[in-house]
Amino acid sequence: MTDATNRLHALLDAYLRCPVEAARTELEQALRGYQTDWIRTRAGADAPPLPVAAAPAAKPVAKPRFPIAAADIDVLKRLADGWTGTTADVTRWAWFENRELVSLEPNAAGEGPELLRLTPLGWAAIGRTPAG
């Protein structure tokens, strides 16, 4: 990585005050995919076949670099243990979502508060990995 790229990443991390590594990785992968598709489209029939890609090794998610209160860790652990917490049950759900610790899913009943699900960063925050 260039020095300018490192400075930009540090600025984004400091400005957003939350981890942006996952978003950067996703954007870089999308850009590579777009470039590959663009090149293959213009190569036409002369394009070599796509290589068979091996499944990428699961890269461990780094623990969050921001403080998490003990009560919030307890909520994350309850979610990891199978508790189906909703936005109505957890008063600080917006903090969790803004910190990328949880994602929101529609309620299975079709109406009512959304369900909280741990993201990879949420699992890393409690030192666990998803069960399946």
What radius of gyration do the chain's Cα atoms show? Answer: 19
Residue 105's alpha-carbon distances to 28, 43, 94, in angstroms, are 26, 41, 14
pLDDT digits (tens, 9 = 90+) for 16-67: 666 666 677 777 888 888 887 777 777 766 666 666 666 666 666 778 888 8
**88 assigned to some structural domain:** yes
Q: What is the mean pLDDT of residues 120-129?
A: 90
**33 assigned to some structural domain:** yes
Residue 74 and residue 112 in one domain: yes
**54 assigned to some structural domain:** no
Per the structure, the complete domain to which residue 99 belongs is given by: 70-125
Determine the pLDDT at residue 94.
Answer: 87
- Bridge partners of residue 117, in order along the sequence: 103
Place of tokens 């959304």: 114
Residue 78 and residue 37 in one domain: no
> Which phi and psi (to 5°) does residue 85 adopt?
-75, 145
Residue 74 and residue 121 in one domain: yes
**20 assigned to some structural domain:** yes
**51 assigned to some structural domain:** no
Residue 81 and residue 42 in one domain: no
By mean pLDDT, which of 13-17, 73-77, 124-128 is the weakest? 13-17
C-alpha to C-alpha distance for 39 and 124, rounded to whole angstroms: 37
Determine the pLDDT at residue 77.
Answer: 94
Answer whether residue 1 shows pLDDT above 70. Answer: no
Residue 86 is given by DSSP the state B
Determine the pLDDT at residue 48.
Answer: 65
Q: What is the mean pLDDT of residues 9-13?
A: 72
pLDDT digits (tens, 9 = 90+) for 66-120: 888 899 999 999 999 999 898 899 988 888 888 889 998 888 878 888 899 999 9
Number of domains in the chain: 2
